[in-house]
Amino acid sequence: MKKAILTMLVGCGLSTTVYTQSSPAPCGPSGDLSNELSTNVASDSRCFEIRMYTADTARDGGGDYDRAIDELHQRFREKEVAIFEKHGAEIVAVWQNLDNPNTLVWMLAYRNRAHRTEVWDAFRADPEWAALREKYPVPVDANVFMLSATDYSALK
């Protein structure tokens, strides 16, 4: 399992398609994808999202923590993960990037792309998120990758 997730993370760094806000990145089961994208995708794949948040070091020393990345981890630890789960996302894992210590990496799973949109809309509208963001106002540079599991992947 660890090897499979690491392989996905490495693969994300090697090939990425950029989609604009008006054209959300596809993800999920092969039936939800174009012929071009669905060739190797499992028919029962969920929609996976890898998010890499690099904390703005200008915030270092600006909050209750010496480093902005520690404040970001506290935000996740305290409530951010729970808010996402409350709205239906599965948090597959959260990692500390050891190659870039100012970066938190996390993976979410949804039933499909439409479910991802529902989760994010509910998350953004949640008053608990607004309060948490105000308590831990860590600016981040986000890199986001949308993924679907292959038909031979153990993780679907």
Convert the pLDDT of each residue in 95-154 to its tens digit: 999 999 999 999 999 999 999 999 999 999 999 999 999 999 999 999 999 999 999 999
CA angle (13 as vertex; 10, 14 as ends), nearest 5: 95
pLDDT digit string, tens, across residues 74-91: 999 999 999 999 999 999
CATH numbers and ranges of domains, the chain: 2-13+47-148 (3.30.70.100)
Per-residue confidence (pLDDT) for residue 21, from 0 to 100: 43
Q: Tell me the C-alpha distance between 14 and 87, whole Å.
A: 31
- All residues at 6 or more sequence positions from 21 whose CB lies less than 8 Å from its CB, including other chains: none
Would strands 90-96 and 140-148 be described as parallel, antiparallel, or unpaired?
A: unpaired
Per-residue confidence (pLDDT) for residue 26, from 0 to 100: 87
Per-residue confidence (pLDDT) for residue 58, from 0 to 100: 85
Query: In which band, very low, low, confident or very high, does the pLDDT at 16 lie, cut at 50, 70 and 90?
Result: very low
Q: Where are the alpha helices (DSSP H) in the chain?
A: 2-14, 35-38, 68-75, 81-86, 113-125, 127-135
Please check the confidence at residue 63 and state whether its pLDDT lies above 70: yes
3-class SS at 30? helix
Per-residue confidence (pLDDT) for residue 46, from 0 to 100: 96
Name 43's bridge partners.
Answer: none
Per-residue confidence (pLDDT) for residue 125, from 0 to 100: 98
Q: 129 exposed, middle or buried (CB, 10 Å; 0-12, 13-18, 19+)?
A: middle
